[in-house]
Structure 1
Amino acid sequence: MNTNKLRRLSSVALCALICISAAISFSGCENGKTQSATSDEVATTSPVPASTADEATAVGALESLGIDASTLGIEPNILHDTENSVGFQLEMPNEGDTVAVVHTTLGDFTMRFFPEQAPKTVTNFINLAKEGKYNNTTFHRVVRDFIVQGGHCGNDENAPNGTSSYGTEFEDEFCDKLFNVRGAVSMANSAQDTNGSQFFINQTSAEAYKNNGGWAKLESNWENIKTQLLNYKDSNLLSAFIQKNGNNCYDTDIVPNEVRVLYETNGGNPYLDGAYNAVDRGHTVFAQIIDGMDVVDKIAVVKVDDDDKPVENVVIKSIDITTYSPQATQTTSQNTGTTSAE
């Protein structure tokens, strides 16, 4: 009898702790929901060398709290790009670089790739595009002042993020010089290393970023998360808490000032960056819109239902993989009124 009572009390306590963890959510959420995003090899130069210096890493925050990251399976593989500076992704590509022109029912946009920083992800997208797998897919999730998401290929129930060109889910590729700023194109996922075919475009403007609370809100959120991590560090519920709140573990303590300025100037969604996430969560940035951001903004304001799905489908008709020409892009901008990413 006493044993049954003890089991009931344990169950109540467990439920209470789980409810507490579920209550912790990103402070910039809308309507109380955490905003998260779910063949031929591309020719590349040699990969950007990773720094061998002891850079400050977000996972170090766990160690400072007395949490052994490796026992939780948290072993981030982050590329420390020593050849490029913060903000290089907003520069125009070199003539002859590979770009993609995405033709949608609301207009066209063009994006440049980052094959040195995210080689497997770039190859995946280009292969799917060349094979026509993205043709006639839709932007199935649209959240104004957040993201425009689409590109689901295949009908495999075991591939919730779409079927990749490799046939299986593949790993994240985080880089400390690529960010989810406005116009950045990133992979949707549902956990670590679950990339498929779905991608999203960060649409948050600088004004929306500021209205959402900006950096002050992100810092407040991280202080809150650190307190919760301390509370759970000696509990068997720590893994469950991290699984629930992984996207919120954005370590603002180690983010360089130039990254803060980049977001304040351009907008975007910093907490989606994997390079500064304490528990190895985030979204791989692999491309940047260089022309046609006004088309993305047009998609972002279409009428949607309660699940953020457009009432009338916005379709990717086709994607052309081609080479960049400054003259061609300039002509396109003049003829269509499109603009480069801010």
Structure 2
Amino acid sequence: MVTKVEPLKYLVMTTSKGPMTMAFYYDMAPNTVHNFVTLAAEGYYNGLNFHRIVPGFVIQGGDPRGDGTGGPGYQIDAEFNERRHDAGVLSMARSQDPDSAGSQFFVCLDYQQTRALDRKYTAFGKVVAGMDAVKAIAAVARNQENDRPTENQLIEKVEVKNVTATDNPYVGLQKELAVK
């Protein structure tokens, strides 16, 4: 039974290296998508940094402390699924506890390096436009000991948008997923 109908949502995350458009795997990780979109709508990610950069692997953000130890004050259950951690895929960061994700997320850079994350981390969406910004962040100078960028890589703002007939980033994502 349907109890609530809302417009399909996507995000535009404006970073210091440019915008990224993010579409979501509502079918595979509905609670994770809801958590991420809700935090974004509340302005949670505005002003935070990508605090961890591992070239060829991931860029990670969403930590209000900026050191990999912060979160929203709660944790969500894992929604491991069959979506691959291909380049551009959004996934939730967590500790050793599978159900310890909160607000930290990462964007995958190269499936050769991230395939080991499949079915062990919650893949919940994909950057469908703006991979040039992702790659620019991944290329910045970083501290080799802790993978932190030497200069802040800012998430300036995140806008939650409704899908419309003329503005629908899911069309390309659906085609891509159908091919796989």
State the partner residue of 2:90.
185
Query: Alignment partner of 1:174: what SS?
Result: coil
State the partner residue of 1:322.
161
Letter in 2 for 1:319: V
Checking the alignment, whether the CA contact within 8 Å between 1:161 and 1:195 is kept in structure 2 is no
Return the alpha-carbon distance in structure 2 between the equivalents of residues 147 and 183 of structure 1. Answer: 9
Q: 1:203 aligns with which of 109, 126, 150?
A: 109
Q: Which has the higher contact order (CA 8 A, sep 6+)?
A: 2
| TM value normalised by structure 2 | 0.82
Query: Alignment partner of 1:126: what SS?
Result: helix
Return the alpha-carbon distance in structure 2 between the equivalents of residues 127 and 200 of structure 1. Answer: 17
Equivalent residues, number? 164
Letter in 2 for 1:137: L
Query: Which protein has the bigger helix share?
Result: 1
Q: 2:76 aligns with which of 160, 170, 184?
A: 170
Checking the alignment, whether the CA contact within 8 Å between 1:100 and 1:110 is kept in structure 2 is yes
State the partner residue of 1:150.
61
Structure 1 residue ranges without an equivalent (≥5): 1-41, 45-95, 210-267, 275-281, 331-339
TM-align CA RMSD: 2.5
Larger radius of gyration: 1
Change in 2 beyond 3 A, CA 1:324/1:272: same
Return the alpha-carbon distance in structure 2 between the equivalents of residues 204 and 326 of structure 1. Answer: 32
Query: Alignment partner of 2:56: what SS?
Result: coil
Query: Alignment partner of 2:160: what SS?
Result: strand
Return the alpha-carbon distance in structure 2 between the equivalents of residues 301 and 326 of structure 1. Answer: 35
Query: Does structure 1 residue 291 correspond to structure 2 residue 129?
Result: yes
Checking the alignment, whether the CA contact within 8 Å between 1:135 and 1:317 is kept in structure 2 is yes
| TM value normalised by structure 1 | 0.44
Report the Cα offset of residue 197 of structure 1: 0.4
Query: Alignment partner of 2:60: what SS?
Result: strand
Query: Alignment partner of 2:134: what SS?
Result: helix
Return the alpha-carbon distance in structure 2 between the equivalents of residues 173 and 203 of structure 1. Answer: 21
Change in 2 beyond 3 A, CA 1:293/1:43: farther
Query: Alignment partner of 1:171: what SS?
Result: coil
Return the alpha-carbon distance in structure 2 between the equivalents of residues 147 and 113 of structure 1. Answer: 18
Q: 1:301 aligns with which of 129, 136, 139?
A: 139
Letter in 2 for 1:175: N
